[in-house]
């Protein structure tokens, strides 16, 4: 049994590994979550476009006008509780878009800004089609 040694790690090796892991976790936690203003703006645009499409569908299905209101705090679908914007996202002015039972809408364009970058959401007044540009 000359070649038989107990396989495993020494106490020193375990302490070194734990110290390296603690440093890595400390670095990640001190920098906080990684955020991208561009991703927040794109997500807000997709969220608004989804709410507009839902409002059109609801107006057709329930045969009644369905409003979507946008302001500096956020947006609200059919007078429900408002959904707030990310801190860096803001719309250009206040807007009220109303979808009618025939699928049409009051139409218009909604522009969301994040510093120098902007995303436009177009709403066709005749068909109610929503397009993110």
> What residues have CB less than 8 Å from 32, skipping those under 6 apart?
none
Mean pLDDT of the chain: 91
What is the reported pLDDT for 22? 95
Give the burial string for 15-38 (b: 16+ CB within 10 Å, else e).
Answer: eeeeeeeeeeeeeeeeeeeeeeee
> Is there a domain that residue 46 lies in?
yes
Tens-digit pLDDT profile for residues 36-58: 888 999 999 999 999 999 999 99
- Whether the pLDDT of residue 129 is over 60: the answer is yes
Pair of tokens at residue 56: 């059109």
Is 18 domain-assigned?
no
Domain annotation covers residue 12: no
**Does some domain include residue 20?**
no
What is the spatial distance between Cα 103 and Cα 29, in angstroms, rounded to a whole number?
49
- Domain count for the chain, please give it: 1
Residue 94: CATH number of its domain: 3.55.40.10
Residue 63 structural domain:
37-132
Residue 105 lies in a domain: yes
Residue 30 lies in a domain: no
């Amino acid at each position: 049994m000359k070649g038989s040694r107990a396989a495993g790690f020494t106490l020193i090796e375990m302490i070194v590994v734990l110290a390296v892991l603690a440093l890595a976790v400390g670095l990640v936690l001190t920098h906080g979550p990684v955020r991208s203003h561009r991703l927040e703006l794109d997500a807000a645009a997709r969220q608004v476009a989804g709410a507009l499409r839902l409002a059109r569908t609801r107006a057709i299905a329930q045969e009644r006008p369905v409003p979507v209101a946008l302001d500096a705090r956020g947006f609200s679908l059919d007078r429900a509780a408002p959904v707030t914007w990310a801190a860096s996202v803001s719309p250009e002015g206040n807007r009220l878009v109303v979808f009618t039972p025939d699928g049409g809408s009051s139409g218009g364009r909604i522009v969301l800004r994040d510093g120098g970058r902007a995303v436009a959401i177009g709403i066709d007044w005749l068909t109610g089609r929503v397009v993110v540009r």
